[in-house]
């Protein structure tokens, strides 16, 4: 049993009397917290265990824990016990000079610029970047997480994939945190994962695109969104906001929810199944530029002129326009800024051992040729 050592005066009296024993316990537990012994999701020992360890009463232990709670170091709740408060030296990365990034294919879309800017930022501080490029698959993501856990890294930047769904990989995310390895979530955020995030103002930008369409006279505005991604769900929220603030009616039949792989393989079938309600619209807001281009191609094959008969908007402004293509009305995703700031957030967590606040990076509206004023009659 570990006993509290005390100094004694010449008369044999304790320099610290029994009323100050709790301070010695608080000092010991505080040191363990700051050194990372109880970082992540690991709970502190029970009052009974602490009392036995230090050879004191549970009343004395409660006094010590009350002091640490007042200092903001711990949180106590009935049923959950005592845990380290959020943001208190959670991390003790091994300082190997290596960071992991899980993202989409860096050869496509805007993710190459995110990865490159993150790599440049990390290199300035002496860290290398290991990248795993994945499709939207829980299994693929699990394999990448296991790979990074096995190799040991100082931190992980995690692109949001399938974040609107409960994840079967939460055990691995918790394993990172229990090892003291910080995680920064990017674009999408997993419910239940206590790790800082960097996102864009997706909801406001979609609402601004609806504002733009309303200003052109459009009153029947549809939408295409991905229900598996929290970023797209936020964008759907912006679509609802935009309709509401422009006094427009929301109609279920004008909104189509499809996962990205569905857009790739069965988009035309879904379009024609909903053809009548979609053609009630004069404009459609799409969750990203990929979806907007799928819809544009389908409309053109059906002989529907864009933007004369149907105006379209995308999101992210991520593609080079090919000859003969219209430029999209969209919002520009700040790829390099997101990558840089994600890396900076992670380096701060590695350096300080503490969490950092979530960050939101603004996007910029970009008016292209895919939207036009509604022509009546």
98-200+335-362: CATH topology: Rossmann fold (3.40.50)
Residues 203-256 pLDDT 10s: 999 999 999 999 999 999 999 999 999 999 999 999 999 999 999 999 999 999
Angle between helices 260-273 and 289-301 (to 10 degrees): 30
For residue 82, give the H/E element and its range. strand 81-84
φ/ψ of 356, rounded to 5, equals -120, 160
202-332, CATH topology level: Rossmann fold (3.40.50)
Kindly indicate the confidence band of residue 82, based on its pLDDT and cuts at 50, 70 and 90: confident
Q: 187 with 220: CB under 8 angstroms?
A: no
Region at 186 (left for phi over 0; alpha for psi -120 to 50; beta for the rest): beta
CATH 3.40.50.2300 in the chain, residues? 98-200+335-362, 202-332
Pick 154 or 180 by higher pLDDT.
154
Say if CB 311 and CB 213 are below 8 A apart: yes
Give the tokens for residue 371. 């939207």
Strands (E), 119-276: 128-133, 155-159, 183-186, 197-200, 221-225, 255-257
- At residue 215, the 3 state secondary structure works out as helix
Residues 144-161 pLDDT 10s: 999 999 998 999 999 989
Does pTM surpass 0.75?
Answer: yes
Domain with CATH 1.10.10.10 in the chain: 18-84
pLDDT at 9: 35
Dist CA 218 CA 283 (whole Å): 7
CATH of domain 18-84: 1.10.10.10
């Amino acid at each position: 049993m570990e006993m509290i050592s005390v100094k004694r005066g010449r008369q044999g009296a304790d320099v610290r009397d029994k009323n100050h024993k709790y301070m010695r316990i608080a000092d010991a537990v505080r040191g363990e917290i700051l050194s990372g012994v109880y970082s992540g999701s690991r709970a502190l020992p029970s009052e009974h265990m602490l009392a036995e360890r230090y050879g004191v009463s549970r009343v004395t232990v409660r006094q010590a824990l009350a002091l640490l709670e007042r200092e903001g170091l711990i949180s106590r709740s009935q049923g959950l016990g005592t845990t380290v408060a959020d943001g208190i030296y959670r991390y003790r990365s091994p300082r190997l000079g290596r960071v992991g990034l899980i993202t989409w294919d860096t050869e496509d879309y805007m993710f190459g610029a995110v990865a490159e800017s993150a790599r440049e930022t990390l290199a300035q501080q002496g860290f290398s970047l290991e990248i795993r490029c994945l499709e939207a698959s829980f299994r693929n993501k699990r394999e990448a997480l296991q790979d990074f856990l096995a190799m040991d890294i100082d931190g992980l930047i995690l692109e949001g994939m399938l974040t609107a769904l409960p994840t079967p990989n939460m055990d691995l995310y918790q394993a990172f945190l229990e090892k003291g390895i910080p995680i920064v979530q990017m674009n999408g955020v997993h419910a239940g994962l206590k790790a800082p995030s960097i996102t864009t103002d997706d909801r406001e930008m979609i609402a601004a695109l609806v504002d733009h369409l309303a200003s052109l006279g459009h009153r029947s505005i549809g939408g295409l969104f991905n229900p598996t991604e929290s970023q797209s769900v936020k964008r759907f929220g912006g679509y609802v906001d935009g309709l509401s603030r422009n006094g427009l009616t929301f109609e279920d039949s004008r909104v189509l929810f499809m996962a990205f792989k569905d857009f790739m393989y069965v988009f035309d079938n879904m379009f024609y199944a909903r053809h009548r309600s979609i053609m009630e619209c004069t404009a459609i807001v799409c969750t990203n530029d990929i979806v907007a281009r799928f819809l544009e191609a389908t409309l053109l094959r059906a002989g529907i002129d864009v933007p004369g008969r149907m105006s379209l908007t995308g999101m992210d402004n991520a593609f080079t326009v090919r000859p003969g293509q219209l430029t999209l009305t969209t919002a520009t995703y700040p790829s390099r800024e997101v990558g840089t700031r994600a890396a900076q957030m992670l380096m701060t967590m590695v350096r300080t051992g503490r969490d950092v606040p979530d960050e939101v990076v603004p996007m910029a509206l970009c008016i292209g040729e895919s939207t036009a004023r509604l022509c009546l009659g």
